[in-house]
Every structure is written in structure tokens, then in C-alpha cells.
Amino acid sequence: MSLHPFVFLLAAGLASIPTPPQGVLDNELTKAANERLAVETKSFLKELDKDPRPAAEKDEIRRKLSRVKIQVYTSLKSIDDAAAFYAGKIDGAAFLFAERQLLPDAQEVASSLGLKLDLATEKEWAGKTGRSARWRRDDGSLEIDLEEHLIDPRTARISKKTVVMITSAE
């Protein structure tokens, strides 16, 4: 059985992670991310119950999973500013950047919501890319994901806002 990456998160409280520059905690996005985490955790725990690992090892995995938390911030500062900020605040934080097509991602979100993007949105975002960046501590105790654009998981609307998702354990 392949363990989901968040299984390896260790205690490293979110309180010790600085807020991104001009960052605002987005309670609704944080709630949505933690709800998604809860669904994934529930599914994973069902698989774990069938796993032949010793009970003590399974209990340790369950303990670590119960402490995983996610916070989501938005900022009008650029993705580069956010990455540079964390690189200066956290030892070893070096982000790996990638590009992605925005419209297919928004269409996927819309589809999962039972919505269809309007023609104006499709025309505006067709062929446009956005950057994302990720850094994960070697021991898996902390991960910071950055997105150059917000694709709202409630509406599939795309906006030019840097999104900072911090995954850690308390």
C-alpha cells in the first residue's frame, strides 16, 4: 500500500509559520481544504485497516493524521514575493515552480460543482497559464503550496490572487 504524503507529517505547529506578505487567512478556503483532507483521510484510513502492518504502526499513522491541518491565505503580492518571503524565513525553503493551463483547471472545478463556465470566462482564460510553486520540508513536516491565480473551489471563478496553502501538524 502506498501511503499518502500527509501520513509522514510530524508535529510542527501552524502557529510557528509566518503569514505570507499581505496575506489574509481565507476561512472559507481553509474550511474547504480541511474538508477535502477529511474525505481523503477517511478513504485512506479504510485502506489502512486492511493493511497488514502491525497495529502499533497503524496507530502511529492515525495519530499523525489526526494532527494534520491546512491553512489557506490569499495575497495581492506576487507568487515570487511569497516564495522569496518563505525562502528568507524558513531554512532550506527552495520552491519548485511549474506552469499550468488555467482554463482546464477551472473547467474541472466547475464540472465537479455541476456547473459550466460561461463563454466570457472561457474566452478570457483560454490558453493562459499560471504558475504554481511547492516546497516540502525533507522530513515531510511542512509543505507550502503557492498558486499565482485563485480558482475558487466554490464557483470555479479565476482571479489574479496569490494563494498560499500551508499544510502542517499541530
Per-residue pLDDT tens digits for 131-140: 999 999 887 7
pLDDT > 90: percent of the chain: 56
Cα 94 to the center of its chain, rounded Å: 17
Run of H or E including 24: strand 24-25
Per-residue pLDDT tens over the stretch 27-74: 999 998 888 888 888 988 888 888 899 999 888 888 888 888 899 999
Mean pLDDT value of segment 10-31? 77
Q: What is the average pLDDT value for the chain, to the nearest integer? A: 86
Predicted pLDDT of residue 168: 87
pLDDT-derived band at 16 (thresholds 50, 70, 90) equals: confident
The DSSP element (H or E) to which 146 belongs, if any, is: strand 142-147
Question: Is the alpha carbon torsion for 39, 41, 46, 47 positive or negative?
Answer: positive
Residue 2 pLDDT more than 60? no
Q: Is a pLDDT exceeding 50 seen at residue 10? A: no
Distance CA 121, CA 8 (A): 39
pLDDT at 64: 82
